Amino acid sequence: MSGSQEEVGFIEILVECPFCGGYVPDDFECLKCGSEILEQIGDEYTIFICSVCRSEVTDGAEYCPSCDALLE
């Protein structure tokens, strides 16, 4: 990364599959086990990760605490 460019990422939302326990993108179907995931899964099944370094971040974070990427 050059000194004048700042790495920019975004917050990805992963949900815990209630069937296999894996964390997968917020989709209708689990990529790990193929089970259908309903949209109504509560917040207790949601984590937020940095798209640059895959570290967990808080919802609405402006910068990743691990890699300092700007999260848009």
Does residue 7 or residue 40 have the better pLDDT?
A: 7
Q: What is d(CA 72, CA 8) in angstroms, rounded to the nearest whole number?
A: 7
Q: What is d(CA 13, CA 47) in angstroms, rounded to the nearest whole number?
A: 6
3 located within any domain: no
Q: Are strands 11-16 and 23-25 parallel, antiparallel or unpaired?
A: antiparallel
- Give the predicted TM-score (pTM) of the model: 0.49
Q: Give residue 52's domain range.
A: 8-71
Note the pLDDT of residue 41: 47
Note the pLDDT of residue 40: 44
Q: What is d(CA 6, CA 30) in angstroms, rounded to the nearest whole number?
A: 33
Q: What is d(CA 33, CA 10) in angstroms, rounded to the nearest whole number?
A: 26
1 located within any domain: no
52 located within any domain: yes
Query: 11-63, pLDDT tens digit by residue?
Result: 788 888 877 888 887 767 777 887 766 554 455 566 788 878 878 888 888 88
Residues 15, 23 contacting (CB under 8 angstroms) = yes
31 located within any domain: yes
Domains held by the chain: number: 1
62 located within any domain: yes
